[in-house]
Amino acid sequence: MPPKAGPPEADPEARHDSAGRRALAALKPRSVAGQVFLLQLVVVLLLITTAVVALVIQDRNRAIREAGDRSLVAAEAFANAPGTAEAMTSDDPTAALQPHAETVRKQTGVDYVVALSPYGFRWTHPDPDQIGKHVSTTYDQALEGEPHQTTFDSSLGKAVDSTVAVFDEKGTVVGLVTVGVTVNTVTSVVRHQVPVILTAGGVALLLAAGGSALVSGRLRRQTRGLGPVEMTRMYEHHEAVLHAVREGVLILDGDGRLLLVNDEARRLLALPPQAEGRPVTALGLSPALAGLLGSGQAATDQVFLAGDVLLAVNVRPVGQRAGSVATLRDTTELRALAGRADVAGGRLQLLYEASTRIGTTLDMQRTAEELTEVAVPRFADFATVELVESVLLGEEPTGPRTEMRRTAAGGIRDDAPLHPVGTLMRYVPGNPVTIGMTTGRPVLVADLAAADGWRAQDPERAQRVIDYGIHSMISVPLRARGQFLGVVEFWRSEQGPFEPDDLSPAEELAARAAVCVDNARRYTREHTTAVTLQRSLLPGSLPELSALEVGHRYLPAQAGVGGDWYDVIPLPGARVALVVGDVVGHGLHAAATMGRLRTAVHNFAALDLPPDELLGHLDELVTRIDQDAEAQGKIDAVTGATCLYAVYDPVSGRCVLGRAGHPGPALVSPDGSVTFPDIPVAPPLGVGGGLPVETADLRLAADSRLVLYTDGLIEARGRDIDVGLGMLGEALAGTDGATPDETCRAVFDALLRTKASDDVALLVARTRLLDPEQVAEWEVPDDPAAVSGIRAEATRRLESWGLGGSVFTTELILSELVTNAIRYGASPITLRLLRDRDSLICEVGDGTSTSPHLRRAHVTDEGGRGLFLVAQLSRRWGTRYTDRGKIIWAEQSLDAAAAVDMSVLLMADL
């Protein structure tokens, strides 16, 4: 079975080759500095090798010369030494010369000293075995008297041999001296100098490595850490990108010469083939463009015309006089697209502004004005709005009508000959407005001069409009929830004529405005309903009283009607109740709740309850209303209602006040000083929890002004209540001698310069005191016999008042009331007669709290008809309770027309 094929790495030889390649790749330097260092290493090693070789060769030559010189000197010295010639001529030259030769050899460091006979036989030798043997070498030159040197390879290495002749006194050669020196004996210099050479080479290598490291660091800083491979790849990529981008790129030096240009820039600028290296001003460009490029100054999207191409040029300088880089972009098509985009963007911005600026209020006229303000001048030069009459009144629209009221008009100038605001417009058939109402679509009239239907509406005014310069218009119906509300017309005079593309934004504007107009219409309807309800619940006119002179004001809130109310209620005994209340909130619920509370106060006041008891009953009523609403699942609670109730007695000048969560009154004294009396405050109505209400008792001088108000007068957004009270005091201080109505006007002018965010009720009452001559009082003894005397005194007082015609009726009333007090009451018993403006009041008080009740007596009854007579003879009667008992009172009218026909009364079935 053949072996399975595997990857190359599975083969041992392949693995070996791969490992070798990886080792070579690891040894191969990647950086420029590494390659420089490798080159330096090779150079240093080559220099070291060359130096060593040269040194060795030089040392060998020197050693050969030195060996020759040493051997020659030793040979001549030995030959010329005294006794050498005599020893050679002796009988035994060996014995005489051998010791001296060895001594010289050892002392001079030569390898051998050999003495020879003239015939070549050795007399001496370091090896005694060689003595006496013949040397085959010829020494003719030495025998002739010239030293003979020979270089040869011996067993000890290369050696130098010097031979000289020895002469006797006669000049005859008596022998030869041969001295040999090996070259290795004198080559020790090389051994001493090689370490120095190697050390110097190592130092050179270290310096080369350090220099390479410095160069490598600087190169990496300049190349931002990129190696040669990365820089090469980056250059290739940049070169590809430079010529592939759709923008032209030019690189210039500090002198304005073109260093580099890509293909797109060549095409856009139509540059010559050899443009690099030439000044940019010599490339045939326009002077403005060449000046910008040559200046090296920064520029952003400056537009230049290069032939038929519109270029957007950007220039960025590089360093200080290092040159600049310029980019060119063809904006010819983009400019056209940008123009259309600007138009679309302008329309979107127009619609956005319409959504934020139209409908800021719930006022139809203001909404129509906002529509004209948004449209002019961005969309039209003039704009007009007409609304149906029923829409302006807040009623439901009943369909398209050719009669509408011009509600708003705006334009770039105020002298346009268009119909003014308030004009009732009646559109004829064929008019663009009529066509738009019929079709429900906008109508474009590009040329008003040629629009016969529009000119037929009012030919004279139409000609004036055309002469004025208005040349086109768009009419758009205002429709909301499928109902026709009105129409808006857009007119142009200075702008170009309207085009079909303008119909869409015109329709959008009208649609947004129509919704806002419909909201305002519905609010107007609701507001009218609420105002009608509130006006019906507030007092229409206040009664004329002898006790007080009253002025009043009511200002609805900006958001609509609210729950503030006031009232002036006449009470028995010429007294008057002043009421000011507030129900938190706005709208129909607040107005309805206010009406319920006002009715309840009237009912409680009819019982002649004091302020503390009245407010207590009112608190229970509000609590019960809240409980009923909660039981029915309603959220319309009355929590937050406040009230101030005051009772003023013009006889004594006494004023009793109580308040439940309501601001206290202001008091203006007759001398003009303003104070804010300290009135104990109880919790607001509905949250009192049955707590008693405390009252304050004031004594008011005549011509004092008591000012009652709601919190909307002194409280405002961004204004503290103490600041409001200070402003109120200052306003009242400046009204010295003013009537109550003038006081109300001054206070409103000072504190309510703008539309109030909360409704405001203000009541100013100037106090009066009854003349003591108009009051008569008697203490009645607890004796029936005293009735006649009291009746006589009362008759005399009536006659002194000139009321003789009322004597008989008054005698009947006071006789019945005094008799009942004596019979059923307790002491003390009092009688008081009050003469008011148009009435006479008879009051009988006693010390019991038992109240009489009117009933019809049977035919057989002997009594029980007294109160019936009192009720028939008086305009009204009743009972009020005091701290010490009760008072039965009866009020007669002094009007002659209201006098009782006694004959009819006597004939009645009593």
pLDDT in tens, 365-416: 899 999 999 989 889 999 999 999 888 888 887 766 768 899 999 999 989 9
**Residue found under tokens 């309840």:** 600
pLDDT at 10: 47
Q: Where residue 255 falls among pLDDT bands split at 50, 70, 90?
A: confident
Structural contact between residues 534 and 593, judged by C-beta atoms closer than 8 angstroms: no
Q: Mean pLDDT lowest for which of 474-488, 707-721, 725-739?
A: 707-721
| More confident: 113 or 664 | 664
List pLDDT tens digits, range 341-365: 556 666 677 777 888 888 888 888 8
pLDDT at 766: 95
DSSP-based three-state secondary structure for 243: helix
pLDDT at 812: 87
Rounded to whole angstroms, the Cα distance separating 611 from 526 reads 36
What are the Cα distances from residue 52, in Å, to 9, 56, 200, 206, 493?
Answer: 45, 6, 12, 20, 105
| CB-CB neighbours of 592 under 10 Å | 17
Rounded to whole angstroms, the Cα distance separating 235 from 184 reads 62
Structural contact between residues 257 and 275, judged by C-beta atoms closer than 8 angstroms: no
List pLDDT tens digits, range 490-543: 999 999 899 998 898 888 889 989 999 988 888 888 777 777 776 777 776 788
Structural contact between residues 259 and 240, judged by C-beta atoms closer than 8 angstroms: no
| More confident: 479 or 49 | 479
pLDDT at 190: 54
Beta-ladder partners of 182: 159
The two most distant CA atoms of the chain are separated, in Å, by 223
Q: Using the predicted structure, report yes or no on whether residue 202 has a pLDDT greater than 80.
A: no
Average pLDDT value for residue range 225-244: 67
Q: Using the predicted structure, report yes or no on whether residue 699 has a pLDDT greater than 90.
A: yes
Q: Using the predicted structure, report yes or no on whether residue 605 has a pLDDT greater than 60.
A: yes
Q: Which of 435, 432, 424, 425 is nearest to 451 (CA)?
A: 432
Q: Which of 674, 837, 829 is nearest to 764 (CA)?
A: 674
Give one DSSP letter per residue of 288-308, joined into a string: HHHHHHHH---EEEEEEEETT
- The proportion of the chain whose per-residue pLDDT surpasses 90, expressed as a percent, equals 22
Average pLDDT value for residue range 649-672: 93
Rounded to whole angstroms, the Cα distance separating 147 from 163 reads 6
Average pLDDT value for residue range 197-209: 72
**In which element (H, E) is residue 636 found?**
none
Q: Which of 326, 357, 354 is nearest to 252 (CA)?
A: 326
